[in-house]
Amino acid sequence: MDIHDSTTQYAAGGTAVALVLAFILYQPSGLVKWLQKKNYQYEVSSSLYMLTPTEKFVFNSVLFLTLSLLTMACVVYLPDHISTMSRRTYYYFAGEGMDLAGTAKSALGVMKNSAAALAESASPSAAATASAIKDTAKSAVADVI
């Protein structure tokens, strides 16, 4: 048996890890005791303590799969559903739909008009800045349309 062989080193490392875990489990810390208590409470409150290990595995697998699918459905579909419901609620109370594109277009139009007024009444350097803002507003309005 060669000590420099990688297989021997892996076996020795695995044995050391197993011994450390065994020591930790036989001399449990506060966290391990708390986790063991929570596991015991879960098994007693869901009546898993009377099942075989295979039945526990099947039950916990089905429970985990169900909760995972529910979580994924909430993450994927809930934001869109909330958005749809808020638009419908706004429609029911206000009587008209929210037109975000129209609102953005009107805001950009106001910005364009303000830039034009500033360009007419300002100094030459400010006029150049206002002209640049006006061009930006024009391109933004063109993007929205």
State whether 55 and 69 are in the same domain: yes
State whether 11 and 26 are in the same domain: yes
**pLDDT at res. 41:** 94
pLDDT exceeds 90 at position 126: no
pLDDT exceeds 80 at position 10: yes
List Cβ neighbours of 87 (8 Å cut-off, separation of 6 or more): 97, 98
State whether 94 and 123 are in the same domain: no
Examine the fold and report which residue of 83, 98, 113 is the final residue of a domain before the chain moves on: 98
**pLDDT at res. 69:** 96
State whether 90 and 125 are in the same domain: no
Q: Give the number of domains in the chain.
A: 3
pLDDT average, residue stretch 1-7: 71
Cβ(43)–Cβ(49) below 8 Å: yes
**pLDDT at res. 115:** 67
State whether 9 and 23 are in the same domain: yes
Local structure of residue 51 (DSSP, 8 states)? S
pLDDT exceeds 60 at position 1: no
State whether 121 and 106 are in the same domain: yes
Q: What is the pLDDT of residues 43-102, one digit of tens each?
A: 999 999 899 999 999 999 999 999 999 999 999 999 898 988 888 888 888 877 556 666
**pLDDT at res. 88:** 85
Helix ranges, the chain (H): 6-26, 30-45, 53-94, 100-121, 124-144
Domain hosting 56: range is: 51-98
State whether 40 and 10 are in the same domain: yes
State whether 4 and 32 are in the same domain: yes
Q: What is the pLDDT of residues 102-121, one digit of tens each?
A: 666 776 777 777 766 766 66
The beta-carbon contacts of 134-139 under 8 Å, at least 24 apart in sequence, are 137/108, 137/109, 137/111, 137/112, 138/112
State whether 4 and 25 are in the same domain: yes
State whether 94 and 66 are in the same domain: yes
Which residue did the predictor score with more confidence, 51 or 8?
A: 51
CA-based radius of gyration for the chain: 33
Burial call 7-34: b when 16+ CB within 10 Å, e when fewer: eeeeeeeeeeeeeeeeeeeeeeeeeeee
State whether 36 and 6 are in the same domain: yes
pLDDT average, residue stretch 28-56: 90
**pLDDT at res. 130:** 65
State whether 110 and 143 are in the same domain: yes
